[in-house]
Structure formats: C-alpha cells, structure tokens
Amino acid sequence: MPARDTTANLDDMELIARAAREGGEIALSYFRKDPRRWTKENDSPVSEADLAVDRHLAQALKAARPDYGWLSEETADDRSRLAARRSFVVDPIDGTRGFLAGSGEWTVAIAVVEDGRPVAAALYRPVGNDLYTATLGQGARLNGREVAVSGQPVLSGASVAGPKSITGQGPMMRTGISHAGYIPSLALRLALVAQGLIDAAVVRENACDWDLAAADLLVQEAGGRLEDLEGRPLAYNRASVRHPALVAGPPALAVPLRPILAQLLTNP
C-alpha cells in the first residue's frame, strides 16, 4: 500500500474516531430518558437520538471531507456517493432497539469506504467507553491496544453469536458450538469477534452497509473474515446496500460454518 494511502487512512480513522465519540456523547444524553421514537417502513425503530447523532455526524464529517460520499441509515440516500472515490458509511446508533430498551449494547459505527471496501473504521460503545478502530493493513485496536480473533481451531466448543433461531438449531448444535447470546448491535457482535471474546458470528440476510462496513474492517484486521456463504468478501457503497447471509470469525471457523448456515437457510 502506498505510504500516502496509509497516511490518508490513518487521518480518516482519527477523524471518524473523534466523530464517533462525539456522536456517542449526544446519544448518551437521550439514553434511558424515554426519547421520542417512531417506526420506519421496514418496521424498525428510530428515535430522536438517532436523528440528532446523524445530524451531528453529517455536519462534522462532510465539513472535514467535502469530496467524500455519504451513506447513513438515517439520511435519504444521495446516489452521488456512487461517483465518489471515498465515502463515509454511518450508523448513528447501531442497535436502536437495545438503546430504547435500556441495554448498553449499542454503538456508533463509522467507516470510510474506497473502491467498495472499508479502509478506515471506528466503532464506539458509549456504555463502557470502548472505542474500536482499524485502518487497512495496520491492525485492529480496542482503546489503543491491538486485538485479534480467537484461536479456537474447531467448531466444537466454539462460542457463536447470532439469532437463537439459527444458532440454536440442530445442525448448529450438533457441531458442539455454544450459543453466545444475541447482541442488539450487529456491529458490536462482529467487533466482539474481532476482539476474540466471541469465537464466531452468523448474520441473517438483508443486513445493510451501515451495519457491517466498520465491523468488517475490524474483523479483517484482527485476522478474521466476514464473508458470504460462497466465501466472498463484501462490497460496499454500491447501488444496493443490502447483503446476503454472512459468517464472521477466524478462517478455521468461518469456512465450516458456511455450509451449515446455507443448509439452515435452505431448509429452515
């Protein structure tokens, strides 16, 4: 990777890390205070906290990088992003259901994507003050300390996070895995895989760019994979922002999980 690209990625990571912290502070000002809420067309919740964080991030990041595209869960899609060399991919509050329920398992997720892949990522968990960061080729970190995926070599005994409707099914349980629980923030679920606290994770189809981009780079830079059931990496900032079913973890676990998840989804 050319030195100028590494420098640009690090500069972008520092920018989005600051923004994620700021967004988290705004979200905390609404947390457990019964913010106004609505239901979107896809039956998912959104609150005044989501919108306040989105406004702040859009203002701060667009001002700092006016030539970057913008893709956020809470902003109407501007297709001009498709022509931008780099784009921000943002989830102002990932895990809104958990946020509104008073759970601490929600995050502010920001990535910078270039040519379809994340090159800088910041994922902030305000409850706990945990900041995950990554830049392409430079490793993944939690609060400045490098993290790595689990060294678990086989599925038997591995902790796997995801919906119980998947991880609790016979084909999964017969491998000897343990259900690691359901985490409202998908990005946090994947960050815990990058951190090695969870061995692997499964993701239902239809997750969106903003759920995945930052955590994808964290998992990759921690030595793992986030991939579809054919073993392909994800492409971001495309016309469609939705993705198929996915697995995440070290290669020793992601590879054997793919056909099991495919079987479950084909014969539920």
List, for residues 110-125, the tens digit of each pLDDT value.
999 999 999 999 999 9
Position 53 confidence tier, pLDDT thresholds 50, 70, 90: very high
Q: What percent of the chain has pLDDT over 90?
A: 90
Say if residue 239's pLDDT is above 80.
yes
Residue whose C-alpha is closest to residue 202's, from 223, 170, 172: 172
Residue 41: its pLDDT value, please? Answer: 77
With a CB cutoff of 8 Å and minimum separation 6, the contacts of 240 are none
Residue 106: its pLDDT value, please? Answer: 98
**Each residue of 63-81: pLDDT tens digit?**
999 999 999 999 999 999 9
Cα distance between residue 158 and residue 198, in whole Å = 8
Position 181 confidence tier, pLDDT thresholds 50, 70, 90: confident
CA–chain centroid gap for 194, Å, is 11
Return the residue matching tokens 């809420």.
37
**Cα-trace Rg, the chain:** 17
Say if residue 203's pLDDT is above 60.
yes
Cα distance between residue 198 and residue 191, in whole Å = 9
Q: 4-13, 100-109, 188-197 — which is least confidently predicted?
A: 4-13
With a CB cutoff of 8 Å and minimum separation 6, the contacts of 38 are 45, 46, 47
Helix (H) or strand (E) holding 211: helix 209-221
Position 260 confidence tier, pLDDT thresholds 50, 70, 90: very high
